[in-house]
Copies of this chain bind each other. A is one copy, B any other.
Amino acid sequence: MPQFLDTTSPDFEPAFVALLNAKREDSPDVDATVAEIIADVRARGDAAVIELTAKFDRLDLTPAQLAFTPDEIAEAIDAVSPQDRAALELAAERIRSYHVRQMPEDAQWTDPDGATLGWRFSPVSAAGLYVPGGLASYPSSVLMNAVPAKVAGVGRLAVTVPTPDGQVNPLVLLAAHIAGVDEIYRIGGAQAIAALAYGTGTIAPVDKITGPGNAFVAAAKRRVFGKVGIDMIAGPSEILVIADADNDPDWIALDLLSQAEHDESAQSLLITDDAGFGRAVADAVDKRLRTLERTAIAGASWRDYGAIITVRDLDQAAELSNRIAPEHLELCVADPAALAEKTIHAGAIFLGQWTPEAIGDYVGGPNHVLPTARSARFSSGLSVMDFLKRTTLAQMTPQALRAIGPSAERLAQSESLQAHGLSVRARLDSLNRPPI
């Protein structure tokens, strides 16, 4: 059973704080191992990557076999059913349409002093996308990372995906193909991150690495950060559903379970203004858990981290939601737009009962890579901005320098940065000299 909390109970506040602070992740400390792997790949390049792939994935490769060939990709893709292909294509197209709208505008203007100012966005030249192997090898994640990169204009996009014992998920290759990925390597783990960051004889280095992974991958991304850019290090998934009594308890139960089935560390929370509805959802969860394929995982998540919170009214629900700052927020209430105005900290909001969170995982259009562990207070989901950088532009004229240069000189003097001041002063003096 999940926790049942009620804001009218005198014990509510400490129980809620405990829920907020529950440490759900128990990452093994693999940093020393990862440091060795990265050093090895930096020193020995392909040879190290090949040895580590033989060791961890039981796969013997030559340098020429590190990358999938176009024929291998085509053959794998041919095995995908037309229905799966159509679903992936629809998802890719919707993700593309959404992310195209995120492209920011360049700007340039001249101010009254004659200074021309502005900025320019340009794509990262090369990006790497890590795709996990095995159970968590999700083609949808390939689309969610690769499509924004290509929309942003990344010239070279390399995917790494481990293929333990040679097993490959053809849908991952198809998703990469649909998204326009340029290179796919059959490697994984910290060695793949090191290869992307530093390059090997076969694999050219990239400037930015995104994508989810296990503890080794996360530790490696932390270590190469600075040498390359990385996306967030995601924690276990979370959902908060705010629902009034005018919902089908079974639908809400399935929405809660669709996070819980990801991971025993996932967290599914329900806030409702009707205690009876909360109990009905709990019953519906129990009923669904009896038949779910991933019942062990989903059951453990729901038991250990699930909670149903009864509130006085929806304003109180919004207050608690803002303290939770959930990754996914479903608003199953009569006026979801009004409630969304008040829920200001959330990675993604799903409005109304016809918008199960699973729509957002696949085909909605918005990105499913979202801030976890309350970081929606200060960060955002993946977007085209993760594959762009801004260069600011400034051009002074003699007139502009006359107008604002003396203030720069003054501030430089106050900061004891003499050369800063002189670089302005030398130019101003030249303007004050009478023409010969």
Interface residues of A (CB under 8 A from B): 83-84, 86-88, 90-91, 94, 97-98, 101-102, 104, 107, 109, 111, 115-117, 119-120, 122, 124-125, 135, 138-140, 171, 207-208, 226, 228-229, 233, 248, 250-251, 254-255, 257-258, 260-262, 288, 292-294, 298, 336-337, 340, 344-367, 370-371, 373, 375-381, 383, 385, 389-398, 400-401, 404-408, 410-412, 414-424, 426-427, 430
Q: Say whether A366 contacts B392, CB under 8 Å.
A: yes
Nearest-neighbour CB distance to chain B for A155, whole angstroms, equals 11
Q: Say whether A87 contacts B394, CB under 8 Å.
A: no
Q: Say whether A381 contacts B392, CB under 8 Å.
A: yes
Q: Say whether B356 contacts A404, CB under 8 Å.
A: no
A410 to B135, CA, bound (A): 17
Q: Say whether B171 contacts A349, CB under 8 Å.
A: no
Nearest to A127 among chain B residues (CB) is B378
Q: Say whether B394 contacts A350, CB under 8 Å.
A: yes
Nearest to A383 among chain B residues (CB) is B390
Given contacts A407-B362, A411-B362, contact A391 B419 (CB under 8 A): no
Q: Say whether A104 contacts B104, CB under 8 Å.
A: yes
Nearest-neighbour CB distance to chain B for A353, whole angstroms, equals 8
Nearest to A364 among chain B residues (CB) is B394
A421 to B397, CA, bound (A): 62
Which residue of the partner chain, among B294, B352, B361, B419, contacts A258 with CB atoms under 8 Å?
Answer: B419
Given contacts A97-B111, A226-B375, A423-B258, contact A351 B416 (CB under 8 A): no
Contacts of A362 in B (CB 8 A): 407-408, 411-412, 420
Which residue of the partner chain, among B101, B116, B379, contacts A107 with CB atoms under 8 Å?
Answer: B101
Which residue of the partner chain, among B358, B380, B417, contacts A424 with CB atoms under 8 Å?
Answer: B358
Which residue of the partner chain, among B366, B373, B400, contacts A226 with CB atoms under 8 Å?
Answer: B373
Q: Say whether A261 contacts B420, CB under 8 Å.
A: yes
Q: Say whether A138 contacts B415, CB under 8 Å.
A: yes
Nearest-neighbour CB distance to chain B for A280, whole angstroms, equals 15
Q: Say whether B377 contacts A298, CB under 8 Å.
A: no
Beyond A120-B340, A366-B394, 19 additional pairs, beta carbon < 8 A: A87-B406, A87-B408, A91-B411, A97-B111, A98-B117, A101-B107, A125-B344, A228-B378, A346-B391, A348-B391, A352-B396, A354-B398, A356-B424, A358-B417, A359-B401, A359-B408, A361-B412, A361-B417, A370-B392
Q: Say whether B139 contacts A394, CB under 8 Å.
A: no
Q: Say whether B229 contacts A124, CB under 8 Å.
A: no
Contacts of A258 in B (CB 8 A): 417, 419-420, 422-423
Nearest-neighbour CB distance to chain B for A210, whole angstroms, equals 11
Contacts of A420 in B (CB 8 A): 258, 261, 358, 361-362
A389 to B424, CA, bound (A): 37
Given contacts A117-B366, A419-B258, contact A424 B391 (CB under 8 A): no
Q: Say whether A410 contacts B207, CB under 8 Å.
A: no
Q: Say whether A426 contacts B250, CB under 8 Å.
A: yes
Contacts of A360 in B (CB 8 A): 392, 394
Nearest to A175 among chain B residues (CB) is B411
Q: Say whether B254 contacts A87, CB under 8 Å.
A: no
Which residue of the partner chain, among B140, B371, B396, contacts A415 with CB atoms under 8 Å?
Answer: B140
Contacts of A414 in B (CB 8 A): 84, 87, 139, 171
Contacts of A401 in B (CB 8 A): 354-355, 359
Q: Say whether A251 contacts B351, CB under 8 Å.
A: no
Which residue of the partner chain, among B379, B411, B418, contacts A87 with CB atoms under 8 Å?
Answer: B411
Nearest-neighbour CB distance to chain B for A416, whole angstroms, equals 7
Contacts of A293 in B (CB 8 A): 416, 418
Q: Say whether B404 contacts A355, CB under 8 Å.
A: no
A109 to B140, CA, bound (A): 23
